[in-house]
Chains A and B, each alone.
Chain A
Amino acid sequence: MKLAPIWYSLLRRELLLAARRGADVVALLFFFMIAVSLFPLGIGADPALLRLIAPGVLWVAALLSTMLSLNRLFAGDYADGTLEQLLLSPQPLVLTVAIKTLAHWLVSGLPLVLLAPLLAVQFDLAGREIGVLTLSLLLGTPVLSLIGTIGAALTLGVRGAGVLVAVLVLPLYIPVLIFGAGAVVASAAGLSPQAGLSLLGALLALGVVFGPYAAALALRISLE
């Protein structure tokens, strides 16, 4: 069998499974919206203040939403034994992990990117900043999925995995948060957002190259 049909069928399987359990995705999106809406309620609805905190709030909410969706990455396949079959199958595990990460981003990262402009309007962001925010999320959320895959693989089947994955993964998310929110803040201050966006792109390139290898190693350790 050629390599191309394998990645295609793997990706199709992941997306089909996600589509059959659509409620999970919708719940995650609502979590994102609710978390973002809590901040004006807690801090106050002064438009100037909201404009100031919007990049950080949206980015932190995206971080937390991604983190909450991580347990779905491997848990289902682990519970019904599919994961062991995938490990035994002849194609490289790195490829399998990369496909699963891509599927995770398509299901829980991309919807956040598409929803973010709407929420940004609620925070009274200007058009240019909304564009920068969306672009930064588009570059940054795949990195969150890539790092998160490592955390999910390490904590597979461990008791208290939900809290543990947060403790492991959130510190590693900090650079993405800083560059992502920083690009929007720079743009709002009249500076070029290019530095932050370029650095996000660099993190994405690093993550694509090394993330799947580390996650595959972690998965082998968890399942041996």
Chain B
Amino acid sequence: MSFLNINWYQYSSPQTFYPLAGRMIPWFAAVAAVLAAIGLYISFFVAPTDFQQGEAYRIIFVHVPAAWMSMIIYLVMAGWAGLGLAFNTRLSFMMAQALAPTGAMFTFLALATGSLWGKPMWGAWWVWDARLTSELILLFLYIGYMALQSAIEDTRRADRAGAVFALVGVVNIPIIYFSVKWWNTLHQGASVSLTKAPAMAATMLWGMLIMALAFWAYSIAVALMRVRCVIAEREREANWMNELRETE
């Protein structure tokens, strides 16, 4: 079981993680590209036309996975932030910082595709319903995290202050979600649920799941690229970085 014998803690140091991340990026990028190609093919050519919504429904192949990713990335980001606060590991904070822009991008993508879908379906670009509103607030939380982190000069303080804000946000997300839900709801119920059979054609579901996996792989690849940049920027004075620069 050589897999289990690897000392995983070794990779919690930026020096050892930097080359590992570099080796992993092409794999995740390739997986993302292949899955996105398959997923887009299914969503445009295989999945049947919806009898109520016509062709316009096809945007869900981007919209739903983007909305999933926007929430998952916030949770992962807050998880890294909590790890960093608990164990004082610099790389955890760097991962949180690297994930935030991708999460914000997916949140924006979910909002934008949602409004493109809403115009023909609901007759309005924007509707103040629970999920749209809480997704918008999620975008505000990402922006707040990034604004706080970039406003503080001292990186150690910026990391830790951002982490506290990310954790406060994670506690508040369910409260915000339910408050907005009780406030007003117009959005259709969730189409995919773990407890009951999905209310859509199997090919549609497959297209959506494959696209979701493609987005996962894309997020990992991009976060690793960004974390390499963050490491390179913060460790520019370190010896190992100078040696790396000379050998490359």
| A residues in contact (CB < 8 Å) with B | 150, 154-155, 158-161, 164, 167-168, 170-172, 174-175, 178-179, 182, 199, 203, 210, 214, 217-218, 221-222, 224
A96: min CB distance to chain B, Å? 18
B110 interfacial by beta-carbon distance below 8 Å:
no
Q: Are B180 and A178 in touch, CB under 8 angstroms?
A: yes
Q: Are B151 and A174 in touch, CB under 8 angstroms?
A: no
Q: Of residues 196 to 243 in B, which have CB atoms within 8 Å of A's CB atoms? A: none
Residue in contact with A174 in the complex, picked from B161, B167, B168, B179, CB distance below 8 Å: B179
With A150-B164, A160-B151, A221-B164 as given contacts, are A168 and B179 in contact (CB-CB < 8 Å)? no
With A167-B140, A182-B183, A221-B157 as given contacts, are A154 and B164 in contact (CB-CB < 8 Å)? yes
Residues of A with C-beta under 8 A to B171: 210
Residue in contact with B179 in the complex, picked from A155, A159, A175, A214, CB distance below 8 Å: A175
Q: Are A172 and B160 in touch, CB under 8 angstroms?
A: no
A158's nearest neighbour on chain B, judged by CB, is B151
Name the prevailing secondary structure of the A interface residues: helix
Q: Are B161 and A175 in touch, CB under 8 angstroms?
A: no
Q: Are B144 and A168 in touch, CB under 8 angstroms?
A: yes
Q: Are B137 and A154 in touch, CB under 8 angstroms?
A: no
A69: min CB distance to chain B, Å? 19
Residue in contact with A222 in the complex, picked from B144, B151, B157, CB distance below 8 Å: B157
Residue in contact with B168 in the complex, picked from A172, A179, A221, CB distance below 8 Å: A172
Q: How many A-B residue pairs have CB under 8 A?
A: 66
Q: Are A214 and B151 in touch, CB under 8 angstroms?
A: no
Residues of B with C-beta under 8 A to A179: 179
Q: Are B151 and A217 in touch, CB under 8 angstroms?
A: no
With A168-B148, A210-B171 as given contacts, are A174 and B157 in contact (CB-CB < 8 Å)? no
Q: Are B164 and A172 in touch, CB under 8 angstroms?
A: no
B186 interfacial by beta-carbon distance below 8 Å:
no
Residues of A with C-beta under 8 A to B164: 150, 154, 214, 217-218, 221
Residue in contact with B151 in the complex, picked from A159, A203, A221, CB distance below 8 Å: A159
A154's nearest neighbour on chain B, judged by CB, is B161
Q: Are A175 and B148 in touch, CB under 8 angstroms?
A: no
Q: Are A175 and B172 in touch, CB under 8 angstroms?
A: yes
Residue in contact with A150 in the complex, picked from B140, B152, B168, B183, CB distance below 8 Å: B168
Residues of A with C-beta under 8 A to B151: 155, 158-161, 164
B230: min CB distance to chain A, Å? 19
| B residues in contact (CB < 8 Å) with A | 137, 140-141, 143-144, 147-148, 151-152, 157, 160-161, 164-165, 167-169, 171-172, 175-176, 179-180, 182-183
Q: Are B147 and A214 in touch, CB under 8 angstroms?
A: no
Task: Kindly list the 5 A-B residue pairs having the minimum CB-CB distance in the complex, ordered from nearest.
Answer: A175-B179, A171-B140, A221-B160, A178-B179, A168-B144
Q: Are A224 and B157 in touch, CB under 8 angstroms?
A: yes
Q: Are A154 and B175 in touch, CB under 8 angstroms?
A: no
A27: min CB distance to chain B, Å? 26
Starting from the known contacts A172-B169, A179-B179, A214-B167, 19 additional A-B residue pairs (CB-CB under 8 Å) come to A155-B148, A155-B151, A160-B151, A164-B148, A164-B151, A167-B140, A167-B144, A167-B147, A168-B165, A171-B144, A172-B172, A172-B176, A174-B180, A175-B172, A203-B175, A217-B164, A218-B161, A221-B157, A221-B161
Interface centre among B141, B167, B183 (most CB of A within 10 A): B183
Residues of B with C-beta under 8 A to A222: 157, 161
Residues of B with C-beta under 8 A to A224: 157
Q: Can you spell out 13 A-B residue pairs with CB atoms less than 8 angstroms apart?
A: A154-B148, A154-B164, A155-B148, A158-B148, A158-B152, A159-B151, A164-B148, A167-B147, A171-B140, A178-B179, A182-B182, A203-B175, A214-B164
B136's nearest neighbour on chain A, judged by CB, is A171
B134's nearest neighbour on chain A, judged by CB, is A174
A161: min CB distance to chain B, Å? 8
Residues of B with C-beta under 8 A to A182: 182-183
Residues of A with C-beta under 8 A to B157: 221-222, 224
